[in-house]
Chain A
Amino acid sequence: MSKTGLIDTPFKPVEKNVVEEYKTLLEDALGFKRAVDEEGRVVDEELLPKVSEGEIVEIYTYMVRARVIDSWLLKLQRMGKVALHAPNKGQEAVAVGAAKPLRRDDWVFPSYRELGAYLVRGMSEEEILDRALANADDPLKGSDFAIFGNRKYNLVPAPVPVGNQIPISVGAAYAMKYLGRDTVTLTFFGDGATSRGDFHAGLNFAGVFKVPAVLVIQNNQWAISVPRARQTAAPSLAVKGLAYGVPGVRIDGNDVMVVYKIVSDAAEKARRGGGPTLIEAVTYRLGPHTTADDPSRYRTSEEERIMERYEPLRRMRKFMESMGILTEKEALSIEEEWNSKVEEIVRKVLAKPPLPENVFFQNVYGEKPWFIQEEERDLEETLKTMEELGLSYKE
């Protein structure tokens, strides 16, 4: 045995009990857990989370709100007010179901398709719109598009480069453990992201350092036009965790109940020092990849029509009706209510002024070095010249 205890005894196979343990882990990673099927019927009582009827309505309402704001962002993009939008339609259950069981002091590292998670964390529709329009109230001050986040909600702004947040969230989880906190990180990313170096480094560190991290793959079947089968030859994405010593669980990502249950269990386990979990939430992106995409180039509308059947809001309505929580009609009226609320917010947000001209000189450094100061003065001169020449810079 070495001093650190990190050196294996060489020249022998892996011990029998480890092989047995991996057999159980493989079942989780290759299986498919769901509590409620696409017709709203409970198929596995054990996988229903212990939540009250009121909480179920609340979860459903978050999913509705995500869908409503999603469709408004689409509309605003078409009006030329929003630069680009990545539709969330069909993926509301993963975002809401995973974010809901967390505590306020946990940290969430979203990707760009988790409107439901932003709402659960406390971000309002108004803030989402301020951000999307990069107006004077944009909390991220016009830095990039299609990303959201706010320290107020322990919600870290997503990076645009796919998967960059994965190893970073693992580092944050290590810090939590190091500081003796019982908080966890929750990280979202797509099936495409599992191909990147960031994923492999992140999972490897998570396993080696046994950090309190919950890593959720939103497997929506497509990375723009590239199908899941082009990302890996492995039979599931969850199974990838095992190679790094991170348990993987494959679940129905359109069943918000099972998402809640599995993430909640993984988070509690992580809090108690049980280490990371990789969750593959199987879902489907019903819309285009972004407003700049045209899915008819690479998939059939037949496929999309079939997948509508698995759509999570419809399933939730059926489930709630069969449980006697809300009738379908009551459930649908929640959507109408939010539609008109958001319409009002849109009107307010559209009237807000733009960010100041010198906004991009802020927050480059904590304190402005001489060259930033010089360039800021250069901008003032340029604005004067523009006025003299009658030139405009408005977008």
Chain B
Amino acid sequence: MNMVQALNTALREEMRRDKSVVVLGEDVGRRGGVFLVTEGLIDEFGEERVIDTPLTEMGIVAFAIGMAMYGLRPVAEIQFIDFIYEAFDQIVNNAAWYRFRSGGMYNVPLVIRGPCCGGIRGGMHHSQSNEPYFIHTPGLYVVMPSTPYDAKGLLKSSIRSDDAVIFLEPKSIYRTIREEVPDNDYTIPLGQARLVQEGSDVTLVTWGAMVHLAKEAAELLREKRGWSIEIIDLRTLQPWDKDMVVKSLEKTGRLVIVHEARKILGPGAEIAAYISENYIDLLRGPVKRVASYDTPYPLAHEKLYLPNLAKIYRAVTEVMQW
């Protein structure tokens, strides 16, 4: 099963399980979503639960916040996460902060999901990794799966969460990664990372599509240099699994963070700062970040703009030779 199918399965199972789960967004009905994540749901659950909305992200999110406050569990699709900004006011000021603002009297069990990130020659408005904006906002969970198995388990947990979740789906691996996904009802807790592979020289912290690039890079580094790389897939970016990262650093003493978001104030900046504030004694070299460049996402030469094998190779080499 690929990630699109896994997400579709998670939605279907949750909708069957709980009548309060509704899906809404642009083209989620007959079209089944432009990437087909909601394919067929309208046939099973009808137009009142699978809602093709007017074209306004602000409307979709605000409408869903109201539903969520009244007791529904809406899953709002943003067709491409790049278009979420019209809804930013509603996300930050309301979805994230209603609980705090109301002294805990109201909460917003809402999932906002949509395809994110680059690598498909989508140009600047179909490629953004804008998770930093959401990570910066207290009150939100921020999730990004890297495999079909995780996608299903994480989406189920997100739907069951009593707080708002920004669920980001790296579209470049929607269909390229396939694996067995069990039909049973399993969940993956938010906030828990996954140890992708063990290693002893460098800890590579990453998520989303970069997990697969990191695996390739680790293989290249093993071949060319004989170094052993440990890879951690964070899966949840807020709150991130610091325990797993620290445990790994106790073994390797070297940290490289790889992400598609731009470097300045990207998630890597936070992780690097947290580790150096609290665990500097574990480090045998500087923390390195491999990120996208701090320019708008280009249509031309995106493979040079994004993290790539050569950039990871250089960063790991620099930390190893420190």
Say whether A associates with B.
yes
Contact A232 B54 (CB under 8 A): yes
Contact B30 A297 (CB under 8 A): yes
Contact of B293 among A192, A361, A386 (CB under 8 A): A361
Q: Tell me the residues in window 179-210 of chain A with beta carbons closer than 8 Å to chain B beta carbons.
A: 192-193, 195-198
Min CB gap A337→B, angstroms? 32
- Which residues of the partner chain A approach B298 to less than 8 Å between Cβ atoms? 142-143, 359-360
Give a binary string over A351-368; 1 marks a CB under 8 Å from any B CB, 0 the rest.
000110101110010000
Between-chain CB contacts (< 8 Å), 25 pairs: A83-B123, A134-B299, A144-B123, A161-B85, A192-B54, A196-B56, A196-B86, A224-B26, A224-B27, A230-B52, A230-B53, A232-B54, A297-B31, A354-B301, A360-B296, A360-B298, A382-B304, A382-B308, A382-B310, A385-B310, A389-B224, A391-B310, A393-B308, A395-B301, A395-B303
Min CB gap A45→B, angstroms? 38
Contact of B54 among A230, A372, A389 (CB under 8 A): A230
Tell me whether B72 is interfacial, beta carbon within 8 Å: no
Q: How many A-B residue pairs have CB under 8 A?
A: 148
Tell me whether A32 is interfacial, beta carbon within 8 Å: no
Q: Tell me the residues in window 67-123 of chain B with beta carbons closer than 8 Å to chain A beta carbons.
A: 82-83, 85-86, 121-123
- Which residues of the partner chain B approach A143 to less than 8 Å between Cβ atoms? 123-124, 296, 298-299
Contact A160 B123 (CB under 8 A): yes
Contacts A360-B305, A371-B294: A83 and B30 contacting too (C-beta < 8 A)?
Answer: no
- Which residues of the partner chain B approach A364 to less than 8 Å between Cβ atoms? 294-296
Min CB gap B290→A, angstroms? 10
Contacts A224-B34, A231-B54: A142 and B27 contacting too (C-beta < 8 A)?
Answer: no
Interface residues of B, Cβ cutoff 8 Å to A: 26-27, 29-32, 34, 52-59, 82-83, 85-86, 121-126, 220, 224, 263-264, 293-296, 298-305, 308-311, 313-314
Q: How far is the CA of A293 from the CA of B32 in the complex (A)?
A: 11
Contact B82 A161 (CB under 8 A): yes
Tell me whether A338 is interfacial, beta carbon within 8 Å: no
* Chain A residue at smallest Cβ distance from B126: A160
Q: How far is the CA of A312 from the CA of B253 in the complex (A)?
A: 69
Q: How far is the CA of A197 from the CA of B126 in the complex (A)?
A: 20
Contact B55 A195 (CB under 8 A): yes
Q: How far is the CA of A162 from the CA of B55 in the complex (A)?
A: 9
Min CB gap B152→A, angstroms? 24
Contact A357 B29 (CB under 8 A): no
Min CB gap A364→B, angstroms? 5
- Which residues of the partner chain B approach A391 to less than 8 Å between Cβ atoms? 308-310
- The interface residues of chain B, by DSSP majority, are classed as loop
Contact A359 B301 (CB under 8 A): yes
Min CB gap B99→A, angstroms? 25
Contact A161 B31 (CB under 8 A): no
Q: How far is the CA of A144 from the CA of B124 in the complex (A)?
A: 5
- Which residues of the partner chain B approach A162 to less than 8 Å between Cβ atoms? 55, 83
Contacts A355-B300, A357-B301: A160 and B125 contacting too (C-beta < 8 A)?
Answer: yes
Contact B300 A195 (CB under 8 A): no
- Which residues of the partner chain A approach B123 to less than 8 Å between Cβ atoms? 83, 143-146, 160
Tell me whether A226 is interfacial, beta carbon within 8 Å: yes
| Size category of the binding interface on chain A | 35 or more
Contact A359 B300 (CB under 8 A): yes
Contact A297 B32 (CB under 8 A): yes
Contact of B56 among A142, A145, A195, A355 (CB under 8 A): A195
Contact of A142 among B58, B301, B310 (CB under 8 A): B301
Give a binary string over A286-302; 1 marks a CB under 8 Å from any B CB, 0 the rest.
00000011000110000
- Which residues of the partner chain A approach B311 to less than 8 Å between Cβ atoms? 378, 382, 385
Q: Tell me the residues in window 130-175 of chain A with beta carbons closer than 8 Å to chain B beta carbons.
A: 134, 138, 141-146, 159-162
Q: In the complex, which of the residues A143, A231, A379, A381 has the most CB atoms of chain B within 10 Å of its own CB atom?
A: A143
Contact A393 B303 (CB under 8 A): yes
Q: How far is the CA of A389 from the CA of B59 in the complex (A)?
A: 49
Q: How far is the CA of A134 from the CA of B220 in the complex (A)?
A: 32
Contact B26 A226 (CB under 8 A): yes
Pairs A-B, 7 closest by C-beta atoms: A142-B300, A160-B125, A225-B31, A195-B54, A360-B298, A192-B55, A144-B123
Contact A360 B31 (CB under 8 A): no
Min CB gap B77→A, angstroms? 12
Tell me whether A30 is interfacial, beta carbon within 8 Å: no
Q: How far is the CA of A283 from the CA of B254 in the complex (A)?
A: 61
* Chain B residue at smallest Cβ distance from A388: B310
- Which residues of the partner chain A approach B58 to less than 8 Å between Cβ atoms? 196-197
Contact B303 A224 (CB under 8 A): no
Contact A134 B122 (CB under 8 A): no
Contact A226 B294 (CB under 8 A): no
Contact B55 A231 (CB under 8 A): yes
Tell me whether A56 is interfacial, beta carbon within 8 Å: no
Contacts A193-B55, A232-B54: A379 and B30 contacting too (C-beta < 8 A)?
Answer: no
Tell me whether A330 is interfacial, beta carbon within 8 Å: no
Min CB gap B294→A, angstroms? 6
Contact B125 A144 (CB under 8 A): yes
Contact of B301 among A145, A225, A355, A385 (CB under 8 A): A355
Contact B313 A389 (CB under 8 A): yes
Min CB gap B305→A, angstroms? 6
